Amino acid sequence: MTKHKKKSKPAREKLSAKDLKKEVLSLFRREPKKQLNPKQVIQKLKIDTNKDAVAHALNQLAEANQLVALPDFRFQLNRAAIQEQASSRRGAGGNVRVGVVDMTRTGAAYIVSEGKEADVYVPAKSINTAMHGDRVEVRVWTPRGRSREEGEVVKVLERATEHFLGTLFLYPKYGIVSVEGKNPLEIMVDLKDLKEA
């Protein structure tokens, strides 16, 4: 009868508190939609740190508004806060203008600014709930190496349309109204706002 030697597990890394927070945040940035608890974070990072230390790091990141604390002691990346930080860094030195949204079929838009000759291009990811014809406030900058200004909608000042006709799709926690037309659109609706729909 032969004896089998136990395979030794690969050594796991032990991190300082500061490095642990950095690693945890970078994990959530790599997987922004994941909801993880401390045990899952330890498994994914392959680290030799106790659950309490990881839980403390998660709580600190939630207090710093970089993660969102969810039920069952799970956490998720606070994508809105991360985008806001990135856009404020990107827009540093830029200025803010008011204009009207001229939406394209791709979801991007041009902001026709009052008193300005050139329109400001806004990519689809930076529209931030603005719709065709809305009057908006846009942060403007000129990307390095380009002459055309780009921007990001920071606030919708006035809606061009307040009533929409579309198909309602119900989900367990919310509803989606799908609006057809020149610029197709999906509007998320809280269940409590559905009234008798």
Q: What is the pLDDT of residues 76-115, one digit of tens each?
A: 988 776 665 555 544 444 588 999 999 888 889 999 987 7
* Cβ-Cβ contacts under 8 Å for 15 (sequence gap 6 or more): 23, 47, 49
Nearest to 73 by CA among 86, 48, 56: 56
Q: What is the pLDDT of residues 155-165, one digit of tens each?
A: 999 988 888 88
Nearest to 27 by CA among 3, 46, 45, 50: 45
- Element (DSSP H or E) covering residue 24: helix 17-30
Q: What is the pLDDT of residues 10-34, one digit of tens each?
A: 545 677 888 899 999 989 888 888 8
In this structure, of 72-86, 110-124, 133-147, the range with the lowest mean pLDDT score is 72-86
- The pLDDT of residue 137: 93
The whole-angstrom separation of Cα 12 and Cα 107 is: 46
Neighbouring C-alpha atoms within 13 Å toward the C-beta of 7: 2
Q: What is the pTM of this model?
A: 0.47
Tokens of 41: 């974070």
The whole-angstrom separation of Cα 69 and Cα 59 is: 8
The whole-angstrom separation of Cα 109 and Cα 160 is: 15
Cβ atoms 111, 95 nearer than 8 A: no
